[in-house]
Amino acid sequence: MPAPPMPGSLGEKVQQSVCGPCWQEWLRMQVMIINEYRLSLADPQTRTILTQHMEEFLHLKP
């Protein structure tokens, strides 16, 4: 990826560890998670939930 897909250290970690096609696959999965759990993007806790799922999906957790 030419640039981090999100700000902060997590964005840098994603940029260094994840290929472009894998990131695109995550974006599709993210939509399914939002729909399945009926997450409201206006809810601040949604970002935490999506971040946890992203780390698991992309194998970023140690």
Per-residue pLDDT of the chain (62 residues; tens, 9 = 90+): 899 999 999 999 999 999 999 999 999 999 999 999 999 999 999 999 999 999 999 999 87
| Per-residue pLDDT, 23 | 97
| Per-residue pLDDT, 1 | 83
Give the tokens for residue 49.
Answer: 């939930």
Contact of 33 with 53, CB cutoff 8 Å: yes
Output 23-27 pairs: Cβ under 8 A, ≥24 positions apart. 23/58, 26/54, 26/57, 26/58
**Nearby residues of 45 by Cβ (< 8 Å), 6 or more positions away:** none
| Per-residue pLDDT, 61 | 84
| Per-residue pLDDT, 18 | 96
